[in-house]
Structure 1
Amino acid sequence: MREIPTDKIALYVGTVVVAATLTPFLSKFPRSRGKKVVYHIAFIAVSACMVLFIPDWVQHELFSPGGVLLIGIVIPVYESVVAACSLESKNTTSWLQFWIASGSFSFATEFMDDITTHLPNAGEHWYEFEFFLTGWLMLPFTDGSGLLYEKITLPYLAPPITKLKTKLEGWVQIFFVTVNTYYMWIMWYAFLRLSEEQRRFLVVGLGTVYPLAASTVALTTASGLHKDKEFWLTYWVCYSLLFVMMDYAENFIGRITGFYSVCAAATLYLFLPMFRGADVAFRKVLVPLSGQHENMLLHDALQVKLGIEAAIPQVQREKVMNRAASLFTVNTPKES
Structure 2
Amino acid sequence: MGKLWTFIAQLHSIAGPVVTLLYPLYASVVAIESQSKLDDEQWLAYWIIYSFLSLVEMVFQPVLDWIPIWYDVKLLTVAWLALPQFEGASYLYERFVREHIRKYITDREHLQYNPHKTKTSPNDNKAKKRFVQFVTPNKEDQEAY
Which TM class, normalised by the smaller chain length?
0.5 to 0.7
Counterpart amino acid of residue 69 in structure 1: P
CA contact 2:41–2:90 (8 Å) conserved in 1: no
Which of 48, 53, 60 aligns to 2:9? It is 60
2:76 aligned residue: 132
Deviations 1:115-159 (A, max 9, x none): 455xxxx3200000011111000111111111101110112x213
Please, what is the CA RMSD of the aligned residues?
Answer: 3.2
Superposition map of 1:185-224 within 5 A = 223=111
- CA 1:123–1:56: 2 relative to 1, 3 Å: farther
CA contact 1:68–1:131 (8 Å) conserved in 2: yes
- CA 1:114–1:67: 2 relative to 1, 3 Å: farther
Q: Are residues 1:149 and 2:98 paired?
A: no
2:33 aligned residue: 85
- CA 1:162–1:110: 2 relative to 1, 3 Å: farther
| Structure 1 unmatched ranges of 5 or more | 1-6, 8-54, 164-220, 228-305, 311-336
Secondary structure of the residue aligned to 1:109 is: helix
Which of 58, 67, 70 aligns to 2:18? It is 70
Secondary structure of the residue aligned to 2:58 is: coil
TM superposition score normalised by structure 1: 0.29
1:107 aligned residue: 55
- CA 1:160–1:57: 2 relative to 1, 3 Å: farther
The number of residue pairs the alignment matches comes to 113
Shift of residue 110, structure 1, vs aligned partner: 1.3
2:102 aligned residue: 159
CA contact 2:80–2:87 (8 Å) conserved in 1: yes
Query: Quick one: distance in 1 between partners of 2:49 and 2:75?
Result: 14
Query: Quick one: distance in 1 between partners of 2:30 and 2:18?
Result: 18
Shift of residue 85, structure 1, vs aligned partner: 2.0
Counterpart amino acid of residue 96 in structure 1: L
Deviations 1:70-106 (A, max 9, x none): 3111111011112122222322222101111111111
Query: Quick one: distance in 1 between partners of 2:104 and 2:53?
Result: 16
CA contact 1:83–1:92 (8 Å) conserved in 2: yes
TM superposition score normalised by structure 2: 0.62
| Structure 2 unmatched ranges of 5 or more | 119-145
Superposition map of 1:306-321 within 5 A = none
Query: Quick one: distance in 2 between partners of 1:56 and 1:115?
Result: 27
Superposition map of 1:164-175 within 5 A = none
Query: Quick one: distance in 1 between partners of 2:104 and 2:110?
Result: 15
